[in-house]
Amino acid sequence: MSQMHSGNRESKTATVVQVRESLVLVQIDEQASVKKNEVGYICVGEERLKAEVLRIRGRTADMQVFEDTSGVRVGDRVEMTDEMLSATLGPGLLGRVFDGLQNPLHDLAEQHGFFLPRGVSVPPLNLEQTWKFTPAVSVGSRVPPGGVLGTVPEGPFTHKILVPFSEKEPVTVTWIGEGEWTLQDPVVRFESGGVEREITMVQRWPVRRPIPESLLRRRYAERLYAQEPITTGTRIIDTFFPIANGGTGCIPGPFGAGKTVLQSTIARYSSVDIVVVVACGERAGEVVETITMYPETKDPRTGGTLMDRTIIICNTSSMPVAAREASIYMGVTLAEYYRQMGLNVLLIADSTSRWAQAMRETSGRMEEIPGEEAFPAYLDSSIKSVYERAGLIRCADDSEGSLTMIGTVSPAGGNFEEPVNQSTLGTVKAFLGLSYDRAYKRFYPAIDPLISWSRYLDQLKSWLSENLDPNWTRDVKQLRELLERGDAINQMMQVTGEEGITLEDYITWQKSVLVDMAYLQQDAFDEIDACMPRPRQLESLKLLRSLVDRDYDFETRDEARDYFTQITGLYKNWNYSPQNSADYQNYKASIEAAVRELAQTAS
């Protein structure tokens, strides 16, 4: 399965000297040397338990074990591999469900039943399946690291076979095959540094090291400034809190606020090619819902199922802590791989809170000095190092690929001041805070417009002005101010009642309610309202501005309430109507007629 054929390495061994749950202290043999994040196997009878080096002190090393450590004893032998914890990259990843170590869960279940035995691993990719390889270069071609050697069809996409990212200089192709090959068959031979090698369609890459890092250092890739947004089809995100293509965002919220439904909606309708979902520490029931729903959900982009262009990394709260900690790095590496092909990738991590809790458990067993709330002192830098792997990249073949990362956060008790949430806020550029109060009132998506923000609104101003409306950013900011004034008036009414405020303030509050009810709320289970394209969002926003910018001359609060209730009902029915259908035209005409009728009455 390796990308290259290499000589046999000398075996390196160590010995277990201490066991603390999933953390094992090993004594390294005198003739051996190990490095951080190196993988080793603890031999327990016939079982080989996979582990990773976390810390080295002299001739001893702390290793986190990705399996249950029952039965591991002092004196057990440890076989070191001299390899980092790595992802297997190649055709056949799409549509698969892996654990945090990239074991395919469906294959494991078929071979070993639903109760997975310890120490068992299965190749991530089907090594016997054949793929039609079409060369993209000829003999004698000089191809840089990350450059395209050939292509194979993978579902709805063209999968590019790339020069291994570990190469330090352009390679010279000496032979290239064409036709049907398995993943074990060499398809290219090339010369690099005076040595000829052959590679298959598969390569491996350390998960804790960003793929483009080495390419950027050697100028075989270029990081670009994001200037276009992704379109999610969710009005409150696209309009008020946009996320750049290649940007970062987070969705914090308490239990029951709708994170799972919102992230599923974003995954289904976003203007991206590939979706990678990392379920790191979520409850098994929620993960099972995701695994069963995606293959049954029609994909509006391809006409197939959503699973056809999705990869799921699954480590539930009942799985080993160490594998949960590794799962995000595995997911990011797979996402980076497809980005290097010039594709737009969306990574959803659910949830980074439980990933951080896994780090806290491991850090505690290593007896490290704790930070706030016993999280490791390096929590902030760990979160930043993950989100910094997002971005827009110009690849070696001059195509552009992006990795947009959205992490959900599950703060205990909905407390947004806890360390994981605060570290995430200091890293991402879009904050979509979910409110329990809005969820309790069935205001979905429960994104609170008064606490949420996006730094991309100004960054994307040029694109929004050129492609939507020159006044888009200004209009959004003014509507946000209207929502803030309406909230302040509503709080006053909670104390004084409706009679305690002026009629003018009451009308302002009704305007803010109209914006909230008619535009910010959206039905994720309605075929039409679940996703609103940007042109329709623009049309809706213009009509909404014409309604809230008007001066109304109501004589009583009842008149104002009845009018805005009527408009809100018509507007919601308009949202449910297919674009340019008879109902669509009728409801829009009814809204405009209601405005004209009121104007005639006032005159």
Binding residues for ATP: 253-260
Report yes or no: 428 and 370 within 8 Å, Cβ to Cβ: no
Report yes or no: 202 and 330 within 8 Å, Cβ to Cβ: no
- Copy the structure tokens of residue 162: 């790339």
How would you classify the pairing of strands 222-224 and 203-206?
unpaired
Which sign does the torsion angle of CA 270, 273, 278, 283 carry?
A: positive
Which sign does the torsion angle of CA 95, 101, 106, 108 carry?
A: positive
Of 120, 51, 60, the C-alpha closest to 79 is 51
Of 30, 59, 27, the C-alpha closest to 42 is 27
SS3 assignment, position 101: coil
Which residue numbers belong to the known binding site?
253-260
Q: Which residues pair with 50 in a beta bridge?
A: 41
Report yes or no: 54 and 362 within 8 Å, Cβ to Cβ: yes
SS3 assignment, position 409: strand
Q: Which residues pair with 80 in a beta bridge?
A: 12, 40
How large is the angle between the packed helices 557-576 and 503-515, nearest 10 degrees? 10
How large is the angle between the packed helices 503-515 and 534-548, nearest 10 degrees? 170
Inter-CA distances, 105 with 96, 109, 205, 272, 337, Å? 8, 6, 21, 25, 21
Inter-CA distances, 133 with 158, 170, 201, Å? 11, 21, 9
Report yes or no: 305 and 155 within 8 Å, Cβ to Cβ: no
